[in-house]
Amino acid sequence: MNDLHELAASPLQTKQRGPSLIWLVPLLALLIGAWIAWQDWSQRGPEIEILFQDVKGLEEGKSKIRYRSLEVGLITALELTDDLRQVRVRAQLKKGAERYLSSDSRFWVVRPRVALGQVSGLETLLSGSFIEMDAGNGQADDQRAFVGLEQPPAVSIHEPGQVFGLYADRRGSVSIGSGVFYRNIQVGLVKDLSLRPEKQRVEFEIFLRQPFDRLVTENTVFWNAGGFNLSLGAEGVELAIESLESLVSGGIAFGLPKGVEAGAPVADGALFELYASETLAARQRNRESTRYVLYFTDSVRGLAVGAPVEFSGIRLGEVLSIGAEYDSDSLEIRIPVTIEIERGRFRPTGGNPEQSADERLVLQALVERGLRASLKSGNLLTGSQFVDLVFMPESDQQAAPAGVEPPHPVIPTVSTGFNLLQQRITSLVARLDQLPIERIGANLDKSMLELNTSLVSLNAVLKPFGERSAPMAQALERTLERTSKVMASADKTLNPNSQLQTQLLKALEEFSAASKAIRDLSRFIERNPQALLLGK
Is residue 46 within 8 Å of residue 96, measured between CB atoms? no
Domain final position from 431, 460, 492: 431
Pair 414, 488 in one domain:
no
Task: DSSP for 402-459, please give it.
Answer: TT---SS-B--B---HHHHHHHHHHHHHHHHHHS-HHHHHHHHHHHHHHHHHHHHHHH
Residues 280 and 293 grouped into a single domain: no
Domain presence at residue 326? yes
Mean pLDDT score of the chain: 78
Last residue of a domain, one of 387, 404, 431: 431
Question: Is 473 within a domain?
Answer: no
Q: pLDDT tens digits, residue range 307-327?
A: 889 988 888 888 988 988 877
Q: Tell me how many domains the chain contains.
A: 4
Residues 109 and 188 in one domain: no
**Residues 294 and 275 grouped into a single domain:** no
Q: Does pLDDT of 162 surpass 90?
A: yes
299 and 279 in a common domain: no
When pLDDT is averaged across residues 30-48 and rounded to a whole number, the result is 77
Residues 100 and 141 occupy one common structural domain? yes
478 in a domain, yes or no? no
295 and 384 housed in the same domain: yes
Same domain, residue pair 243 and 318: no
- Of 147, 175, 197, the residue at which a domain comes to its end is 147
Give pLDDT tens digits for 92-110.
998 888 888 888 889 999 9
pLDDT of residue 504: 66
| Domain, as residue range, for 272 | 161-284
Q: Which residue from 372, 368, 346 is spatially nearest to 357, judged by alpha carbons? A: 346
- Per-residue pLDDT, averaged over 171-198, amounts to 89
Q: Using one digit for the tens of pLDDT, what is the confidence trace for 409-463?
A: 888 888 765 555 665 666 667 776 776 777 777 777 777 787 777 777 767 766 6
Whether the per-residue pLDDT at 81 is higher than 80: the answer is yes
436 inside domain: no
- Cα separation of 271 and 274, whole Å? 10
| Pair (136, 254) in one structural domain | no
Q: Is 371 found in the same domain as 351?
A: yes
- Please check whether residues 141 and 169 belong to one and the same domain: no
Confirm whether 94 is domain-assigned: yes
For residue 88, is it within any domain? yes
pLDDT at 74: 93
Alpha helices in 317-436 (DSSP H): 359-368, 417-434
Exposed, middle or buried: residue 424 (CB in 10 Å: 0-12, 13-18, 19+)? exposed
Residue 221, in any domain of the structure = yes
* Residue 90 covered by a domain: yes
Peptide bond into 211 cis (omega under 30): yes
Residues 417 and 516 in one domain: no
Answer yes or no: are the C-beta atoms of 250 and 172 closer than 8 Å: yes
Three-state DSSP class for residue 477: helix
What is this structure's pTM?
0.54
